[in-house]
A and B are shown apart, each in its own frame.
Chain A
Amino acid sequence: NAGVTQTPKFRILKIGQSMTLQCTQDMNHNYMYWYRQDPGMGLKLIYYSVGAGITDKGEVPNGYNVSRSTTEDFPLRLELAAPSQTSVYFCASSGTGTGLYEQYFGPGTRLTVT
């Protein structure tokens, strides 16, 4: 199993550009999450999904959109990139029952907006 994979690993965007961060998991997990990590701030939840077709906002959703058309994929869309979105982005997934409380993280995407 590859677990949770994210692409790209690194990206530099100009202000106002758009991009999609890809996330795929092969563990048949229902729950998926997007976090951003900023130095000294821990991780903040951007969006989450409880299954295909169902998504909801987390703590810091402004400037982002998500979709969940399949169980495996949970892409994160930045429409108009801003310097404040410079961060490291992590996708995670978890199962059901007590497995809900063990999140598996991808390796992250480091995004710079200039």
Chain B
Amino acid sequence: ETGVTQTPRHLVMGMTNKKSLKCEQHLGHNAMYWYKQSAKKPLELMFVYSLEERVENNSVPSRFSPECPNSSHLFLHLHTLQPEDSALYLCASSQSGTGDEKLFFGSGTQLSVL
């Protein structure tokens, strides 16, 4: 157990559905991340929250909307997704969000878009 929990573990949704992924960290970290993991591709950073600041990957479509109500919780709201969005979505946290420190990953949400 790394202290980062994600729910749900699996999610199947249609292209017109709206769903949310949840992540919670119990490590006292100040930064949280969403990564997308597709087969045969590098882990792709989607969003970073460090204290009050959000750093956003410019290539993330607006159908993905993050929310970070506090330093322990992170959500990814999904709407009108496409089949190519099917992937493993990993949440991570780190102490300060400087980019040069250990990341603690959750187990991920395996998302299938039909």
A complexed with B: no
